[in-house]
Structure 1
Amino acid sequence: HQSAFREGLLKAVNDFSKKKFDGEDVRDGIVGAIAIRLKEPVFESQTKNKLGNPEIRSRLVSEVREATLDLLHKNPQSAEKLIRKVEETQKIRKELQAVKKLAREKARATSIRVPQLKDCKYHRTDRKKKKDSMVFITEGQSAAGSIVSCRDVLTQAIFALKGKPLNVCDLNRDAIYKNDELYNLMRSLDIESDVDNLRYDHVILATDADVDGMHIRNLLITFFLRFFEPLVLRGHLQILETPLFRVRNKKKTLYCYSEDERDAAVKMIGRGAEITRFKGLGEISPHEFKRFIGPDMRKSPVEVDNHHAVPKMLRFYMGKNTPERRGYIMDHLVVRPEP
């Protein structure tokens, strides 16, 4: 009676939509109940959990099909939602099949060791750890070198990117398996099957404070929002704030995170102030960098006010609508006069 119920439901949906969906796609997320009354029931086991009366099957399939078709025709809006849900489930299932195939091939071809990762001793799932672990995603080996030299090897890991990551805004999940950079990042974080397996408490984007650094930061945020949105929604993704300027004299050194802070520091130090503009993280010495990733580290969380609007936001800012985006930028461009 259960298989007959499933078959009748599948036939009704396929007849109504004039398509050939698989049973698992139609039944995904659906809860059904069926009660059968027979004078002489035959059960297939001692537990009596499966009916063995084959004579009821054809009639039951027909009745379930007719009843379901009747409901679908009487409720066109609900029927349309159901068909859309089935189509989406079918699409996801096919994508996952392709992903699993690529994953198996990739696993055979790739070494277990991730070359870009300098790991730490303790991770998010370790019970012995006394404080949160974190991984810094850096822009190139030069920035990574500064952090490696001064990091806490117990709780601070580094993943060094090689150039700009792929823009995955309009791509499917299989793009991760075709791109070594993103695949290794996913493996390093251990989030392939579930974000709950995340190895670090904090995933920190440590990019330069220039145009290229901002672009890389946006590409990484797009990657996490596109395929691992819960990681962002749970507050794991953060941005490392590093100073733009160093103002000093022989007695005092001040680090400034904005032009306003720089101007205030120059006034405080007075005559003879030496101003250094940090163009990239690689220019900061390990001795100086240690204070920026220590107890006084400045981090800005990546927050999402309305996660339902995320796909639309990503399509606008990171999609292929270049003319529309250019128009928006020109309309909202703010030009500051030189001081």
Structure 2
Amino acid sequence: MAQADYTEDNIRSLDWKEHIRLRPGMYIGKLGDGSSHDDGIYILLKEVLDNSVDEFVMGAGKTIEISIKDGQVVVRDYGRGIPLGKMIDVVSKINTGAKYDSKAFKKSVGLNGVGAKAVNALSDYFTVQAVRDGKTKIARFEKGQLVEDEDIKESSLRKGTKITFKPDNSVFKNYRFVNQYIEKMLWNYAYLNPGLTIMFNGEKFYSENGLKDLLADNLDGPTLHDIIHLKDDDIEIALTHSDKSQSEQYYSFVNGQHTTQGGTHQTAFREALVKTFRDFYNKNFDPSDIRQSVVAAISVKVIEPVFESQTKTKLGSSDMGPDGPTVRTFINDFMKNKLDNFLHRNEEIAEVIYKKILRAEKERKELSGIKKLARDRAKKASLHNRKLRDCRAHYNDLKHERRLETTLFITEGDSASGSITKSRDVNTQAVFSLKGKPLNCYNLTKKVVYENEEFNLLQAALNIEDGLEDLRYNNVVIATDADVDGMHIRLLLITFFLQFFPELVKEGHLYILQTPLFRVRNKKETHYCYSEDERREAMAKCGAKAEITRFKGLGEISPDEFKHFIGEDIRLDPVMLGKDATIAQLLEFYMGKNTPDRQKFIINNLRIEKDLIDEEEAAE
């Protein structure tokens, strides 16, 4: 076989937009369709917003207006406005931007010279307008290509920048913006920037007290004491202890970026918490007893932070700057000083925390024997864990390019598990098989996680016993039949996660798998339908003689067909907590005494087979 020539003609230089469009994952993580909080369309919005928020941080512009309608995004800020002569370069030339000049942007989070360009390249259309010094300029792009460059004109508009874009449907297939994800992102911006007003489709996002408001708005029930709120230059913390939950919950941020996987600053904060309480009470308490039930938020500002992944979910850097202390030393000194002072001045709160630590110590000692047995069991099971069919990539492998795709399907029954196992992508998709209905955990203590073998193995498979920092799968997907039993198993699993690992739900990792109810086909085409409306549309396309199959359970769907439903076209419903619903209220509603309210909810929301048959007969 002749060797191909290797000449100058083989060397190809991609221009900036071609490179971004060819390798979008390098710039914005995974693409997705908007059903997950870390899908690309939210990263696009975030990159534009980061630039507007950086303007507020620099003291320019107190309001940002956002509107999203029919997939089009408009962001208008009232900052300084991009310098008109460089406006086109700033949104279309890699490595161009003011973030390189530390005088203009000292501790910004916007991607150095890449953010706006990535949005531009991955948008169907992208328009930028800057207003400053009584003048304005507008430029329009399509898929990163400049198509209109207007001359600078006189203008009476308020200074600032307006960016309009629509994500490219050929890159983000069938995407939709989920408002809850956007609202969560905007609240974080508001909490981290007290005094900033964000308007989103007419709704106002504003915080007066920063991280104190964040904790107050996100608490799941009563606390043991008032929120401790401490601030200094470049650092802010808020801290309390939950009266109900035993797990640790952290909200951590670096330069305004929500680091959902923690990192150097979160580790340092947890260490400093232990050291400060040990020193204050002069007792060598176990770290887990000190941190049990902690609900805390920490925000630090770092010069040139180094993140461990492109989507900036974990801080890797340890330095504040060339001459400053390390992040660890900086946080430790702040806590030693400010938290210690607070405890001395507030003896009642100090006493409440002391009693809580003693209670945790007693509980841990009672649990230690059960935990040891459970760990030994899990170790043996992990060598031949017949419940888990693992995949090759994992979410906690921060260098793996497909880590964001990692998914664990939780299934019930051998037939459903078998279909998914045979049709899954072994690189990124794992399957955990339940045997029958899981235990109802409502109002039980964490002891049950260790005593119940199935729950203990699930906890071990996810690697979440000590928090989410080493979570092994980005997406945890409950895959049950769409019938009464399937709905019940779904509720029992959601209860398990809400009761013992609420942060998994809060951070947007839990989903329900949608599976088709019908298959409609003729000799030429096949359609899978997820609703009665889709079935009618498919019938119209395939004609009156089309063959209709109704799927009663996942086990009935062959592996060859199943790969369509867990591949590129997977449909996932995120399990989300509304801002006003506490976990305690949700659990009481779904799993408490069988109230008429819940019966009514299930009757109204669960579509059982009889309804579908009635509709089918009516349609015919």
Instruction: Calculate the TM-score normalised by the size of structure 1.
Output: 0.72
2:528 aligned partner: 255
Q: Counterparts of 1:138-149 in structure 2 under 5 Å?
A: 138-149=411-422
Query: Which one-letter code corresponds to 1:123 in the other structure?
Result: H
Which AA in structure 2 matches 1:125?
N
Out of 367, 373, 376, the residue aligned to residue 99 of structure 1 is 367
* Conservation of the 8 A alpha-carbon contact between 2:589 and 2:598: no
2:556: which partner in 1?
A: 283
**Alignment match of 1:244 (pick from 476, 495, 517):** 517
Q: Work out whether residues 95 and 173 of structure 1, in 8 Å CA contact, stay in contact via their aligned partners in 2.
A: no
1:46: which partner in 2?
none
What amino acid is the match of 1:267?
A: A
- Correspondence 1:179-194 to 2 at 5 A: 179-194=452-467
- The alpha-carbon deviation at position 174 of structure 1 amounts to 0.4
Q: State the shift of 1:127 in Å.
A: 4.0
| Matched residue, 1:119 | 390
Rounded Cα–Cα distance in structure 2 between residues aligned with 1:311 and 1:168:
13
Aligned pairs, number: 276
- The question of whether the paired residues in 2 share the 8 Å contact of 1:121 and 1:154 is answered with yes
Q: 1:127 to 1:278 in 2, by over 3 A?
A: same
- Larger mean CA deviation between 117-126 and 308-317 belongs to 308-317
Matches within 5 A, 1:217-228: 217-228=490-501
Q: Is the counterpart of residue 199 in structure 1 residue 467 in structure 2? A: no
**Which amino acid letter does the alignment assign opposite residue 270 of structure 1?**
G
Q: 1:333 to 1:82 in 2, by over 3 A?
A: farther
CA shift, 1:309, in A, is: 1.2
Decide which of 448, 452, 463 is 1:175's aligned counterpart: 448
1:108 corresponds to 2:373: no
> Displacement, 1:3?
11
Instruction: For residues 294-335 of structure 1, give each alpha carbon's deviation from its aligned partner in whole angstroms, at most 9, with x where no partner exists.
Output: 11111111111137611122022212x12xx13553499559
Q: Distance in 2 between matches of 1:106 and 1:302?
A: 29
The change in CA–CA distance for 1:200 and 1:251 in structure 2 (over 3 A counts) is same
**Contact 1:133–1:155 (CA under 8 A) maintained in structure 2:** yes
Measured after TM superposition, the shift of residue 251 of structure 1 is 1.4
**SS of alignment partner, residue 195 of structure 1:** coil
Q: Shift in Å at residue 82 of structure 1?
A: 6.9
Paired with 2:601 and 2:573, the residues of 1 have a C-alpha distance of 28
Higher helix proportion: 1
CA distance in 2, matches of 1:318, 1:129: 39
Quick one: distance in 2 between partners of 1:192 and 1:224?
Answer: 12
Q: Give how far 1:148 is off.
A: 1.2
Could you tell me which of 574, 599, 605 is aligned with 1:329?
A: 599
Partner Cα separation in structure 2 for residue 108 and residue 191 of structure 1 = 17
Paired residues for 1:31-50 under 5 Å: 31-33=339-341
Q: Does 1:153 align with 2:423?
A: no
The change in CA–CA distance for 1:83 and 1:168 in structure 2 (over 3 A counts) is: farther
Deviates more, 1:95-104 or 1:214-223: 95-104
Contact 2:408 / 2:432 at 8 angstroms: preserved in 1? yes
Paired residue secondary structure (2:449)? helix
Do 1:99 and 1:173's aligned partners in 2 also have CA atoms closer than 8 Å? no
The partner residue of 2:502 within 215, 220, 229 is 229
Partner of 1:18: none
What letter matches 1:122 in structure 2?
A
CA RMSD of aligned residues (A): 3.2
Task: Tell me, yes or no, if the aligned pair for 1:138 and 1:205 is still in contact at 8 Å.
Answer: yes
Deviates more, 1:282-291 or 1:110-119: 110-119
Contact 1:116 1:161 in 2 (8 A): yes
The amino acid that maps onto 1:280 is G
2: CA distance between counterparts of 1:332 and 1:119?
A: 34
2: distance between equivalents of 1:216 and 1:334? 18
CA contact (8 A) 1:170 1:315 kept: no
Match of 2:546 among 273, 282, 289: 273
- Give the equivalent residue in structure 2 for 1:45: none
8 Å contact from structure 1 (residues 239, 301) kept in 2: yes
Q: Does the 8 A contact of 2:374 with 2:456 survive in 1?
A: no
Q: Which has the larger radius of gyration?
A: 1
**Structure 2 CA distance, aligned partners of 1:264 and 1:151?**
29
Secondary structure in 2 aligned to 1:205?
strand
Query: Are the structure 2 counterparts of residues 247 and 5 from structure 1 closer, same or farther at C-alpha, using a change threshold of 3 Å?
Result: closer
| Structure 1 residues 226 and 334, CA gap change in structure 2 (3 angstroms) | closer
Distance 1:251 1:6 in 2: 76
CA distance in 1, matches of 2:448, 2:396: 28
Asked if the contact 1:150/1:289 (under 8 Å) is kept, the reply is: yes
SS in 2 for 1:196: coil
Alignment gaps of 5+ in structure 2: 1-276, 283-288, 295-337, 606-610
**Paired residue secondary structure (1:221):** helix
The question of whether the paired residues in 2 share the 8 Å contact of 1:136 and 1:205 is answered with yes
Distance (Å, rounded) in 2 between the aligned partners of 1:307 and 1:95: 31
Query: Counterparts of 2:561 and 2:426 in 1: how far apart (Å)?
Result: 17
The alignment partner of 2:582 has SS state of helix
Using the aligned pairs only, state the percent identity: 45
Cα deviation for residue 201 of structure 1 reads 1.1
Q: How far 1:199 sits from its partner (Å)?
A: 0.4
Q: Verify the 8 A CA contact 2:388 2:430 in the aligned structure 1.
A: yes
* Partners of 1:205 and 1:238 in 2: CA distance: 6
Query: Aligned partners of 2:278, 2:468: CA distance in 1, in Å?
Result: 35
**Partner of residue 211 from structure 1, selected from 473, 478, 484:** 484
CA–CA separation in structure 2 for the residues paired with 1:151 and 1:207: 16
Greater strand content: 2
